[in-house]
Amino acid sequence: MLKQLILVGLGGAAGSMLRFLTAVLTAKYYAATFPLATFIANVVGCFLIGIFIGLFWHSSQLNQNLRLLLVTGFCGGYTTFSTFSSENLNLLQTGHTLTAIVYMATSIVAGLLAIWLGLFLAK
| pLDDT tens sequence across 7-19 | 999 999 999 999 9
Instruction: Say yes or no to pLDDT of 61 above 80.
Output: no
Domain that holds residue 96: 80-123
Whole-angstrom distance, CA of residue 76 vs CA of residue 45:
8
Same domain, 84 and 109: yes
Task: Please report, in range form, the residues annotated as the binding site for Na(+).
Answer: 76, 79
Task: Please report, in range form, the residues annotated as the binding site.
Answer: 76, 79
Same domain, 108 and 123: yes
Mean pLDDT in residue range 16-27: 96
Same domain, 34 and 10: yes
For residue 7, how many C-alpha atoms fall within 13 Å in the half-sphere facing its CB?
16
Same domain, 92 and 75: no
Same domain, 75 and 91: no
Same domain, 30 and 88: no
Whole-angstrom distance, CA of residue 45 vs CA of residue 74:
9
9 or 121, which is more confident: 9
Instruction: Say yes or no to pLDDT of 111 above 90.
Output: no
Whole-angstrom distance, CA of residue 25 vs CA of residue 45:
16
DSSP string, 20-72: HHHHHHHHHH--SSS-HHHHHHHHHHHHHHHHHHHHT-S--HHHHHHHIIIII
Same domain, 11 and 71: yes
Closest CA to 44 of 95, 78, 5, 89: 78
Same domain, 34 and 85: no
Same domain, 12 and 71: yes
- Number of independent structural domains in the chain: 2
Whole-angstrom distance, CA of residue 54 vs CA of residue 40:
21
Same domain, 86 and 64: no
The pLDDT tens digits for 65-108 are 999 999 999 999 999 788 889 899 999 999 999 999 999 999 99
For 46-62, b where at least 16 C-beta lie within 10 A, e where not — what string?
A: bebbeebbeebeeeeee
Amino acid at 8: V
pLDDT of residue 35: 86
